[in-house]
Amino acid sequence: MRKCVVLLMVILLFTPSGPAMAGPYATEFTQVLNHIELVESYVVQAAQLAKLVQILADAVKNSKHNSAQMFGNIGADLSALASIVQGGRAIAYSLGDLDAVWQKTYPGYTGYARTGYYTRYQNWAQTTLDTVIGAMRAANLQSQDMSNEVSLITNLESQSESADGRLLALNVLTQMADQQAQQMEKLREIMLADMQSKAAYYGTIIQQHSDQAAAAQNFFQYAPAPADGTGFLPGWH
């Protein structure tokens, strides 16, 4: 409307003075005003169309999917960790018959065992060593994976910096959350491996004490067999 007023003032200033004409002049002036209003309506429509185009462009940009998403294979990693802790006589948390293996290796205080103590000690020592080395293998595997994880984190940081739409930003956040969950799973796996090595060590120590206590009890409760005069009996008489 402001443009109409300005144009009207220009017309009045540059119109030659003379007697007023209420006929053709008034009709032409009205047509000019109508044309001006029509042009203004076109300008408003063009501005609305430009705004609509901008809205559509933003919608397309914000709905653009990230085709370069990277998710680690956590299932394969956890399976590798669960299998690498098993080896030799190791008592691993991932064993299917863990209870039976533990009970057979560390039966607890069952009284004096007449089999060779050195044989049982050898089995306990080997079980503990194999279990500890399994935990060390798990830690080594995690250490080897760190280089790949650093590359992945660097890639995610680059995606975060270049994300220019809401969906792209959400894709990056999803990948970051997924990586955090995977790291927690791997941390739990390492904690389980550490727990199994400590359990094997304490199992060996307790079983040794149990066998020693049983041997001492058998020694102090020893009673010599009474002599019947028919033969020589070793021991105390």
Quick one: pLDDT at residue 5? Answer: 47
Q: Is the dihedral of CA 8, 9, 12, 13 positive or negative?
A: negative
Quick one: pLDDT at residue 89? Answer: 82
Tens of pLDDT, residues 54-77: 666 666 665 566 666 666 677 787
Could you give the count of Cα atoms lying within 13 Å of 76 in the half-sphere of its Cβ? 4
Are 86 and 95 within 8 A, CB to CB? yes
**Max CA distance (Å), the chain:** 168
Rounded (10°) CA dihedral 117, 121, 123, 125: 180
Pairwise pLDDT comparison (146 vs 17), residue with the higher score? 146
Alpha-carbon distance of 91 to 168, in angstroms, equals 46
Verdict on whether the full-model pTM lies above 0.75: no
Hey, where are the domains in the chain? 2-12+26-62, 74-218
CA–centroid distance for 26 within its chain: 79
55, with CB counted inside 10 A (0-12, 13-18, 19+), is exposed
Quick one: pLDDT at residue 10? Answer: 47
Q: How many CB atoms lie within 10 A of CB 91?
A: 22
35 φ/ψ angles, rounded to the nearest 5 degrees: -65, -40
Are 225 and 235 within 8 A, CB to CB? yes
Tens of pLDDT, residues 89-140: 888 888 888 888 888 888 888 877 777 788 888 888 899 999 999 888 888 8
